[in-house]
Structures are given as C-alpha cells and as structure tokens.
Amino acid sequence: MGTNTVYEDCDVLVVGGGMGGTGAAYEARYWGRDMRVIVAEKANIDRSGAVAQGLYAINCYMGTQWGENNPEDHVRYARNDLMGMVREDLAFDMARHVDSAGHKFEEWGLPFMKSADTGRYLREGKWQIMIHGESYKPIVANAARNSADKIYNRIMVTHLLMDESRDNRVGGAVGFNCRTGDYHVFRAKAVIVAAGGASHIFKPRSVGEGMGRTWYAPWSSGSAYALSIQAGAKMTQMENRIVLARFKDGYGPVGAYFLHLKTYTQNAYGNEYESTWYEDTKAMVGEYIDHHPTPTCLRNHAFIQEVKAGRGPIHMVTKEAFQDPHLEEVGWENFLGMTVSQAVVWASQDIDPKYINPELTTSEPYVMGSHATCSGAWCSGPEDLSPEEYFWGYNRMMTVEGLFGAGDAVGGTAHAFSSGSFTEGRLAAKAAVKYVKDLKNEKINVTDKQIDDLREIIYKPLDNYKIGRNEIVGGTVSPSYLLPIQGLQRLEKVMDEYVGGTSVNYMTNDKLLERGIALLDIMEEDFEHIGAEDLHQLMRAWELRHRLLTSQSVAQHTMFREETRWPGYYYRGDKMKLDDENWHCLTLSRRDPETKKWTMEKAPVYHIVD
C-alpha cells in the first residue's frame, strides 16, 4: 500500500470541498487566472460535507439591496448570541460580502422561494431565506468543478507539509486515496483548509445501531482543526462547543419551525418554562438574559434545567401551525430537503405533528465555527478593518504563513452558516492568490525525507493490523492493536464524562478536566497502535486521530477559561458564573509541533461595531 505516489504541484491547494472549499476554488480562479488551483476532498464534492443532504434555508443573508439589514446589524446579532464576543472584523467582513453568495447560487440554478407580496426572497426569519435545497451541494460543487484545474475526490488529507527553507510556512499537504490506496503529495505555495467541523468527539445520544444519526454530519472529523494544530497554528474559542435543541432522534433542525411556522415549546405538562428559569439564569450571567433575541445557549439552559427538574420532555407545539395546510407542507418539506431521517422517525413512530406535539432534545456537543458558535483557527482579518492584534498581512491567514482557513475552520465567525462559509472561502482565496503573487519567484522547499517520513506514519495502521492479526484466531480484540471504532468509543466516553457531554448534563470542572486531559494524553500514545483492516478503516483511523487532536484542544481551552460563559453549551461547576471582569476576552492556544505541549493565552475582544 502506498507504493504508488501521485505528485501534484500547484499554487493554491484547497483542502476540503464543502461550502468553504467550493467558494475558495471559485474565487481562486477569478483572481488567479493563470494559477494552478487544486481541490483535495475526502469524499466526492457533489455530496460532501455538512450540506450533503441539502438544506432548506440559507441562514445568513442580509438583504442589503432591499434595505432589510446591514452588515453591522449582523455583527451585533452574532455578538449578542455568543454572549458578547466574536471576531467583529471577520464577522463584518463576511457579512458585507455574503449577499452575493446567495445571488451566485440562484444564478447557478438553486431554487429560492419568493414572497408573493414583494417578489423578494422569502424570509424564514430576520436573517434566513428559504430554498428548495435538496440539490444545494451538487449545484455549488458544479461551480467549483468549472473553476479548479483538478478536483481530487476520495483523498483523505492527513497532514500538512511544511516549507523547509523558511520557519513556520506551509508547503502543501499529503493524504491517501481511500479507494486506490495511492499516496498523494500536493506541493503548494498556499493552502486553504476548509475541512469542516467535528461531530463524534462527544458520545452521541444515539449509540449502537443509531450512532450515525447526529445533527452535524457524522463525517465531520475535525480535520480542519487537527491539520492546522499539527502545523502549529493557533486556535481560538475551542471551548465554545455547541449544543443544539433538535427534534428527538432524527435531529431535525428547529429554525424553520420557530421562525416561519411560529411554533413554540412547552414542558410535558403543557406549560411555558423559560420564565421559570429567568432569575436563576440572571444570577449566573447577569443582563445577557435580557438581550434580544435570547442567546441560543441560554434557550438551551432553560430547556436543560426544566428537564433536570423532572418536567420533561419538552415538546414543540406543532398542532396549531399544522392546521394550516401550507404550513403543514412547509413543515414536512423542511425535513425532506435537509434531514430526511426526521420525517422517517416520525413516520415510523406514528407521530403526525398535526395531532401530536413532537419531542425535542438537546444534542451532544459539536465543534464548529459557523453556527451559533465560533471555534476555529486564529486568523488575520482584512486590512481595512482589523486592529493590530487581528492583522498580520493576509485576510483569513492563520498564524502559519501561507495557510488560510474558511468556514468551520476559522474561529470567531459565528452565524456564517452555509452562505457565510462559502463567502469566507472566497475571501480566503482572494488573499491566498495575493500571497502567492507576492512570493514572486521564491520557492517552497519540501524534501523527499519529509514526504517519505509522512508516508511511513500514514500507512502504519495497515501494518499494525497485518502483523497483529496473526496473534488472534478470531474476533476483534487484539493484544497489539485497537480498531478505529474502539478508539472512537473510548474518546467519546472520556469527552462525555470529563469534558461536559450529555450524560453529565454538560457539566465539568477543573478536576474533571485535569483527569480528562491526562486520559486523552494516554490515548494519544495508544492510538499509535490503531489497526486498519482496509483502506476504509485507514480513513477511519485518521479521522480518529483528527478527532483526538480536536478533543485535546477543546479540553485545554475549557480548562483555561475559568468561568461559565455559555450555560446551555457547558458548565464549569467550579466557576458557575459568567465573569466579564476577567474573561471578556478570546482564548488562544498553540500546540508546539515538536514538544506537543500546549500554551494558552488571552486575546482582546475589540468591539468594532457599537
């Protein structure tokens, strides 16, 4: 395996062809007409990433052409939802460009719903517009295909390459083809990491035969974080994992229901419950509970408290809205275009939301940077907006030279969603092209040794299995190797119990974290012994390694921030209050690639918009 090596030399390499990656490929071609632009994607860009199943709404659209919202308004909205802190420069930059993503999608054939009264895009809520989006991803992928020189599908990128002639500069990436086993070496002058967020780092509520059913895509393996962390890039706000209120078991999103169908929640006894928890929440977070709209985490907090108090389950009141045949149709279509499993769960459990109010649940935590959360890499902002601490030359460039990010990969940019992630890809690509142009004739030096060493590391799980398999006559338990699924379940259990997952009601503290971090470190040693039976399992092995690094980062950040900033996402039992005096700041981490030691620091939150 891995004896056949495929080399690709390019100017701009895009890792991950999801929403950020497709935007990057499209824009790189626009600014870099004569540049070689390559996409390396784990799956197939037609149906890869979080948008694989389609989406029913574009959740970030200003509507500036009709005077609906301005970018400043969106910064205020995202800041409010994130309990006071986002990277306002990055958020504003995304918001001022995001509308054109919607316009492009429509031009490329995505069907938008329109208001019969105004002819404008039909609003689901203040920021969201509604689409018939089952084919959202193939439509956007087509534009990327028309732009890139080549799209390599089925390539699991495992590591970034580093330039050996200059410290702290990227030189490309390596990975393997999940179908052929070929070793792929991409030498590149600039790399844009757009490999998405992370599910399955905390134990999911659905285990066993249901373990594939999570809200965020089960194939989101934290690669965007792990690739960047391995290269020594700084991360920010990794403690800000997100918990979603979702329809039970199918994890169907609730936005269309709350905002368009105007449904509402109640406890098992038919009572409104959010006001019950108002004083309790105020004591923890102060005036943030009076903000409008109520921050997502605080809505979760009331939900979690009410269930803990014994008055669950929480129901979504659908019976009223579903009497209107139009709204009934929208309610079902919403899932058929985005989360088919929810419609299947209801059908299989005899739940007709016209007659029965369905149950909601709170999900296991996910790590991402584009929903009501902002974990990700610490990136430079745009030159016209960013204060000194937020700017080092190129928009969306990480703290490693030549390494850029988009979508879930970038920290500080909450509420970007699909359209904002695509937009960030465009912004990153524009800057990456400029970076390559500025390099002029300077060469990137990646030695054969670096390439050969990584090849050894990447294929090792296949050898572990081949050799270790001889020691057992049957079954799956070996004294010499761990299977990826066994490793995954161990990781999920530690994250769940020590770092604030569902089984402990999202609670952790300094002592639990200390132990959790130690257990994750032991796991890092053990995962040297992962055994992969075939190429598919080799992909699972590397997804697991990426999830572990993401988890370590989350645990380190959670330990560092000594307060409970987002009740409803997680609680630090030893520091149960929000502490604006000491922690109205962003958190930063760096893992030294040589020593593997983490260092943590604070970074200022600049309020650029008043």
The least CB distance from residue 417 to ligand AMP, in Å, is 7
Query: Distance between CA 549 and CA 521 in Å, rounded?
Result: 10
- Say whether residue 506 binds ligand SFD (CB under 6 A): no
- Say whether residue 339 binds ligand AMP (CB under 6 A): no
* Residues between 284 and 313 that touch ligand AMP (CB under 6 A): 293, 296
- Say whether residue 135 binds ligand SFD (CB under 6 A): no
Q: Which is nearer to ligand SFD, 136 or 481 (CB)?
A: 136
- Say whether residue 255 binds ligand AMP (CB under 6 A): yes
The least CB distance from residue 259 to ligand AMP, in Å, is 5
The least CB distance from residue 112 to ligand SFD, in Å, is 13
Residue labelled with tokens 């690709």: 8
Query: Distance between CA 20 and CA 41 in Å, rounded?
Result: 12
Report H helices in 14-87: 19-31, 71-81
Q: Which is nearer to ligand SFD, 43 or 284 (CB)?
A: 43
Residue 159 dihedral angles phi and psi, to the nearest 5°: -145, 155
* Residues between 349 and 378 that touch ligand AMP (CB under 6 A): 372
Residue 252's binding partner out of ligand AMP, ligand SFD, none, with CB under 5 to 8 Å set by partner kind? none
Q: Distances in Å between the alpha carbon of 572 and those of 4, 308, 564, 580, 600? A: 50, 17, 5, 15, 18
Span interacting with ligand SFD, options 149-157, 228-236, 445-453, 595-603, rule CB under 6 A = 149-157
E strand spans, 559-597: 571-572, 585-591
Binding residue (CB under 6 A) for ligand SFD from 237, 305, 363, 418: 418
Q: Which two tokens stand for residue 23?
A: 């935007």
Q: Distances in Å between the alpha carbon of 106 and those of 103, 301, 476? A: 5, 38, 50
Q: Which two tokens stand for residue 70?
A: 């301005």
Binding mask 427-466 for ligand AMP (x = CB under 6 A): ----------------------------------------
Q: Which is nearer to ligand AMP, 59 or 395 (CB)?
A: 59
Span interacting with ligand AMP, options 177-185, 248-256, 454-462, 577-585, rule CB under 6 A = 248-256
- Say whether residue 216 binds ligand SFD (CB under 6 A): yes
The least CB distance from residue 378 to ligand SFD, in Å, is 16
Binding mask 106-125 for ligand AMP (x = CB under 6 A): -------------------x
Q: Which is nearer to ligand SFD, 223 or 478 (CB)?
A: 223
- Judge contact between 34 and 11, C-beta under 8 A: no
Classify strands 598-604 and 585-591 as parallel, antiparallel or unpaired: antiparallel
Position 284: which residue type?
M
Q: Which is nearer to ligand SFD, 249 or 497 (CB)?
A: 249
Position 547: which residue type?
R
Residue number with the shortest CB distance to ligand AMP? 255
Please count the CA atoms within 13 angstroms of the CA of 523 that sit on its side-chain side.
26
Kindly tell me the number of DSSP H helices and DSSP E strands found in the chain. 16, 19
Query: Distance between CA 88 and CA 470 in Å, rounded?
Result: 57
Residue 20's binding partner out of ligand AMP, ligand SFD, none, with CB under 5 to 8 Å set by partner kind? ligand SFD
Residue 293's binding partner out of ligand AMP, ligand SFD, none, with CB under 5 to 8 Å set by partner kind? ligand AMP
Residue 259's binding partner out of ligand AMP, ligand SFD, none, with CB under 5 to 8 Å set by partner kind? ligand AMP
- Say whether residue 16 binds ligand SFD (CB under 6 A): yes
The least CB distance from residue 220 to ligand SFD, in Å, is 6
Residues with Cβ < 8 Å from 279, sequence gap 6 or more? Answer: none
Binding residue (CB under 6 A) for ligand AMP from 254, 289, 297, 519: 254
- Judge contact between 579 and 225, C-beta under 8 A: no
Q: Which is nearer to ligand AMP, 220 or 399 (CB)?
A: 220
- Say whether residue 99 binds ligand SFD (CB under 6 A): no
Three-state DSSP at 404 gives strand
- Say whether residue 19 binds ligand SFD (CB under 6 A): yes
The least CB distance from residue 133 to ligand AMP, in Å, is 13
Q: Which is nearer to ligand SFD, 18 or 331 (CB)?
A: 18
Span interacting with ligand SFD, options 289-297, 304-312, 415-423, 557-565, rule CB under 6 A = 415-423
Q: Which two tokens stand for residue 495?
A: 């994250």
Q: Which is nearer to ligand SFD, 141 or 284 (CB)?
A: 141
Position 279: which residue type?
E
The least CB distance from residue 112 to ligand AMP, in Å, is 17
**Ramachandran class of 491: left when φ > 0, alpha when ψ lies in -120 to 50, beta otherwise:** alpha
Binding mask 244-273 for ligand SFD (x = CB under 6 A): ---------x-x------------------
- Judge contact between 40 and 157, C-beta under 8 A: yes
- Judge contact between 11 and 189, C-beta under 8 A: yes
Q: Which two tokens stand for residue 479?
A: 């004294």
Q: Which is nearer to ligand SFD, 68 or 580 (CB)?
A: 68
What is the secondary structure of 181-212 as a DSSP string? --EEEEEEEEEEE----B-SSSPPSS-GGGTT
What spatial distance separates the first Cα and last Cα of the chain, rounded to whole Å? 57
Residue 339's binding partner out of ligand AMP, ligand SFD, none, with CB under 5 to 8 Å set by partner kind? ligand SFD
Instruction: State whether the Cα torsion 373-378-382-386 is positive or negative.
Output: positive
Q: Which is nearer to ligand SFD, 58 or 316 (CB)?
A: 58
Residues with Cβ < 8 Å from 209, sequence gap 6 or more? Answer: none
Binding mask 538-567 for ligand AMP (x = CB under 6 A): ------------------------------
Classify strands 57-58 and 155-162 as parallel, antiparallel or unpaired: unpaired
Residues counted in the chain: 610
Q: Which two tokens stand for residue 433?
A: 């092209």
Residues with Cβ < 8 Å from 349, sequence gap 6 or more? Answer: none
Residue 589's binding partner out of ligand SFD, ligand AMP, none, with CB under 5 to 8 Å set by partner kind? none
- Say whether residue 40 binds ligand SFD (CB under 6 A): yes
Q: Which two tokens stand for residue 585?
A: 């700041």
- Say whether residue 196 binds ligand SFD (CB under 6 A): yes
The count of other CB atoms within 10 Å of the CB of residue 501 is: 26
Which of 318, 337, 262 is CA-nearest to residue 112? 337
**Residues binding ligand AMP (CB under 6 A):** 59, 125, 127-128, 253-255, 258-259, 293, 296, 372
Interacting residue ranges for ligand SFD, rule: CB under 6 A? 15-21, 40-43, 48-51, 55-59, 155-157, 175, 194-196, 215-217, 220-221, 223, 253, 255, 338-339, 370-371, 407-408, 417-419, 421
